[in-house]
A and B are shown apart, each in its own frame.
Chain A
Amino acid sequence: MTAPLIEIAGLSKRFDLRVGAFGERSATVHALDDFTATVIEGETLSLVGESGCGKSTTGFCLLNLHRPTGGSVRYRGQEIAGLDEDAMRPLRRELQIVFQDPYSTLNPRMTIGEALAEPILFHGLATKADLPARVTRLLADVGLTPRFANRYPHELSGGQRQRVAIARALACEPRFIVCDEAISALDVSVQAQILNLLLDLQEKYGLTYLFIAHDLAVVRHISDRVGVMYLGRLAELAPAGALFSQPMHPYTRALLSAVPEPDPKSARSRQRLQGEVPSPLNPPQGCRFHTRCPIARDACRSAVPAWREVATGHHVACHAVSAPDKLNWEGTE
């Protein structure tokens, strides 16, 4: 289970847009810069970060839903970053996505059964005769009874709709699913149900997940490895255990300390980040985090920190971190 499923190198995405009252000026959003990582078959790789950090853009670029501006994405050895839609189509079946909002991703005029049958027929995965049995099995996979096949999306609760959205992704018999904030819109008690469902399905079908989320506590429970992004760049990527027990990047540390803990007596020293995320229209020079970083030095303002592996599988992009046992946290400014 260590074979790379997807190898991503130097992936970047820029959006050109027109600004000003009459669109007289052009501007560029640096949504994703120099993203390098490997997705291993059978794992859950999570991406976390605040809004606008590029985590969803990464998911979209991997699936070629956004055409990347630069870099390469190799899926099982095949370069897919520049493929056109016709060439992508055979791969689409294996690469699926589940979105945040199950309200807007299902066609309100299709029954659940029709919505599930559509991708099965499109990819020729079953004959018309086998279809009902197939739909029933998919519904059972996501914990719904067969009678749901005749219902419409508006008759379902949010959690049930998200189950249908997952079933629809499963209908294609995928290998890789991007879960783009797939549980963020759900209530706590339902969220736990869906998380467990995702874990069950992964076990059963050997799925690989790219799990995009902003809730760090959720990510900790579901992930094998976690990548932390800030303003379009990876700040840190590590096995989940290491990232949460020994975070190295100052941004990861601040992010973790900002997460509220369900314990009124929790007396953690909360490290407050001042200010807000700068605009991706005009990202800071050097390390993008330097404007909010408590330990930023001159080097951080001028040079982009290198992406270094400081411990086995633990990558960090920070001038102050050179080795896990050699953290230059003190003695700066």
Chain B
Amino acid sequence: MYSFSVTDFENWRTIARTLLQANVDPSNVSWQPPEQQGLFSPSALEAIIDPAKSVRSSGTHKIPRQFLQRAKQAACFSDMKDPARKWSILYSLLWRIVHYGNGTLLLTSDPEVRCLDSMCKAVSRDKHKMKAFVRFQQVANHNVAVTGQECPEDGAEYYVAWFEPSHAIVESVAPFFVKRFTGMHWSILTPGGCAHWDMEQLTVTEGVPKPDIDTDSFDIFWKAYYCNIFNPARLKEQAMRSEMPKKYWKYLPEAACIHDLTRGATAVTEQMIDAPTTNSDRAREKSRIVAQFQNTLRLKNRIDPDTDNFSDTPP
């Protein structure tokens, strides 16, 4: 029995490659989370290779790129109960691909394939939600205590966001933010790692606890927009909650408005329906300019009754 503690995808890949070359069956490997000391350190890997046992003399296997991409995605998955389970599933699938062919991944009802699928889906959803729900605040002074970053020159704008992704995705999502906010100096802080962009260089640092960031007064504009773009006559609270689960609300300044908007919606709608209507000629009667303008347009739009039909096809 071999035991390995794995830190990240590249680390797993190195170990897995060696194990495959040595033809080690997945049932003979125990995978451990990084904090536990493995029986074999990666440096001892070379020792387990027995050239005589090697499946192929070249020692390399053709692994479908699609599997490697999905494995890399799944490697971001954090499983609170069993943090190293992903590594053992990945190795087992890798082993099966090498021994039974690429078709292994097509077995959609196979438990390991299903597990890989659901890990990838969870990570991909988490990434998508992070891109959507990270909210930057402009901080007045470059707060070294908050981000551990160096000060830019005085007066430069600096944006900071706090977010808690469910999976270890900061490193893989950071390039998205770089491409989008290239001309901004920013930091995204999370408990599992932080990403910093100084308009030249992306730096990834250790995670931090939730910092105190002063609220950016600009969120009053955003809240005003949020409240006024909402149509109370179409209240569908459940549809909102399924797309924007409550666990994200703490990052969203606009979430503070949800309760009042929802509670007042029915009354506002009834009020609109019951209110007296306005005569459509009101403005025409009051303003000569409006009446003139509209008369000209209406004259221009008058259509010969013979051609007035439903044929709105292009001329």
- A, B assembled together: no
Residues in B lying within 8 Å of A, measured CB to CB: none
